[in-house]
A = this chain, B = another copy of it.
Amino acid sequence: MNVSELGEFALIARLARTIGAEPPADLIVGIGDDAAAWRAGDSVLLATTDTLVQGVHFLPNLAPWCDIGWKTLAVNVSDIAAMGGEPLFALVTLALPSDTETESVDELYDGLRECAREYGVTIAGGDIVRASEFSITVALIGKAQIRDGEPLLMRRDGARAGDVIAVTGTLGDSAAGLELLEKGCSLDNPFVRAHLRPHPPVRTAQEAARLGIACGIDVSDGLLQDIGHVCVRSGLGANIHASRIPTSATLRDSHLDSALALACAGGEDYQMLFAAPSGLIDQLTLAAGDCLTIIGELVKGEPTARLLDDSGKEIDLPSAGWDHLRRA
């Protein structure tokens, strides 16, 4: 069997099984969450890594190099934030074809630096290797917030039955932007900007962790798929009410028929999703002042996300979300 038949998530689960036999005492969160968490002295470290490959995650000649730099760091910042943590320093690996123009690399670094400044990250090292296709990998190290010696972590397995599910911002703009980018739309288009320059809501995520919200994930693979990760890890079902899913007015206007599908399955929004008792979500809405929308709730039962219409009937969507190995 090859890896595209097995799929990304089955492969990760398979590898996690072969590895996690005897986790050391210092490991708090291992494979299967947004970031790993590790106790080091009086700190709890977080570490995550994400790679963008040319032709797979971005399109040669369409996405400007500086945006690729921004995005590669931003998606890692999003993972640290989803744990409730603070990003600290990054290692950047560039895999470069020999004929890459040094100007392109400079522009890429401009975008990386811009994102690093925005989120208080230091680029502390990395690696440069030759390769036949361009890719960029960021490993980002952060730290958890600590209270009374214990880390304030949001985990995928931290949800309880009865928790409501809330998301920040609006969903689907990034997926609409990708479609437009592929059709040659201007880089100034707001959907295209949303796709190329995600801004993960780090402060809201950190505030959520401080309030005691125990379950969080970033919306990166597509809303339903990401909720599915929470379902599987927490052993719960999720009811998601389609009419409550927040989309931007411009998306609803311009994508009348597809806005819901883009919001549910599009991916790469890099908003945050939290599961918690509704009282905590109310507190977060007050504290963060950010747009936060309750879209559903976690229930006992089969660990999958169900999308419901206003009458409570299940809606089928054509695509389930992003699988890095399956999508051709």
**A residues neighboring B (CB under 8 Å):** 1-4, 6, 8, 11-12, 14-15, 18-19, 23-24, 26-27, 29-33, 35-36, 38, 40-43, 45, 47-51, 53, 55-57, 88-89, 91, 93, 95-96, 98-102, 105-106, 109-110, 113, 122-133, 135, 137, 139, 141, 143, 324-325, 327-328
Contact = CB atoms under 8 A, between A and B. Distances in A.
Contacts of A123: 19, 31
A101 B131 contact: no
A125 to B, nearest CB: 4
A106 B41 CA distance: 34
A12 B129 CA distance: 11
A2 B15 CA distance: 38
A98 B323 CA distance: 12
Nearest to A20: B123
Contact of A98 (B47, B125, B128, B325): B325
Contacts of A31: 123-126
A42 B41 contact: yes
Given A3-B98, A122-B30, A130 B36 contact: no
Rank and list the top 10 A-B pairs by shortest CB-CB distance, nearest first: A139-B139, A36-B124, A4-B98, A41-B43, A36-B125, A41-B42, A49-B91, A40-B43, A53-B131, A3-B100
Given A125-B30, A324-B129, A113 B49 contact: no
A102 B1 contact: yes
Contacts of A40: 40-41, 43, 45, 88, 143
Given A1-B102, A11-B102, A40-B143, 18 more contacts: A2-B101, A4-B98, A4-B99, A8-B128, A15-B109, A18-B110, A30-B124, A31-B125, A38-B124, A42-B42, A42-B43, A47-B89, A53-B131, A98-B325, A98-B328, A130-B324, A131-B133, A137-B137
A106 to B, nearest CB: 7
Given A3-B98, A18-B109, A98-B325, A47 B125 contact: yes
